[in-house]
């Protein structure tokens, strides 16, 4: 009788130990865009290009997906969420006026359950990747 109850308690304990709730991992990126005076740049276009970790090739079509294009808010920040680990290129493009384009790109490797922050200081230059 006592051994039966003891087995039952051990079984229930093991059942609860193995049935923990699964929490899906997250992969997030916060891109901060600033100028030379370290001031945030609102309304700046930020696009993301995702590179395949196995082959090193850019995943086609990802940069054009509206999910990976955002405009910075008043604090100069755009936030992106991803489903998997990734090596991403973030590109910030800002048009101050018709004659002046400012841009910058940076790279970051996303890790599980961590929000990575990438700060881009935009500057005038050849903005071939801005569209």
Going by DSSP bridges, is the β-strand pair 114-121/27-34 parallel, antiparallel, or unpaired?
A: parallel
Instruction: Yes or no: say if 122 and 35 are a contact pair by the CB < 8 Å rule.
Output: yes
| CATH number of the domain to which 50 belongs | 2.60.40.1120
Residue 17 lies in a domain: no
- What pLDDT does 51 receive? 79
Residue 104 lies in a domain: yes
Residue 131 lies in a domain: no
Inform me whether the pLDDT recorded for 122 exceeds 80. Answer: yes
How many distinct structural domains can be found in the chain?
1
Q: How far is CA 99 from CA 25, 45, 72, 92, in A?
A: 44, 17, 21, 17
Tens of pLDDT, residue by residue over 14-33, are 666 666 666 778 888 999 99
Residue 67 lies in a domain: yes
* Full domain range(s) for residue 29: 23-124
Residue 5 lies in a domain: no
């Amino acid at each position: 009788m006592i051994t039966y109850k003891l087995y039952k308690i051990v079984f229930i304990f093991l059942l609860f130990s193995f049935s923990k709730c699964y929490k899906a991992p997250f992969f997030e990126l916060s891109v901060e865009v600033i100028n030379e005076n370290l001031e945030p740049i609102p309304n700046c276009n930020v696009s993301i290009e995702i590179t395949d970790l196995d082959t090193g090739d850019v995943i086609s079509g990802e940069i054009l997906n509206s999910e990976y294009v955002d405009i910075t808010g008043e604090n100069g920040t755009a936030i992106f969420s991803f489903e998997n680990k990734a090596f991403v290129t973030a590109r910030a493009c800002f048009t101050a006026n018709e004659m002046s384009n400012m841009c910058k790109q940076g790279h970051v490797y996303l890790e599980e359950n961590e929000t990575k922050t990438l700060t881009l200081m935009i500057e005038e230059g050849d903005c071939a990747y801005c569209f």
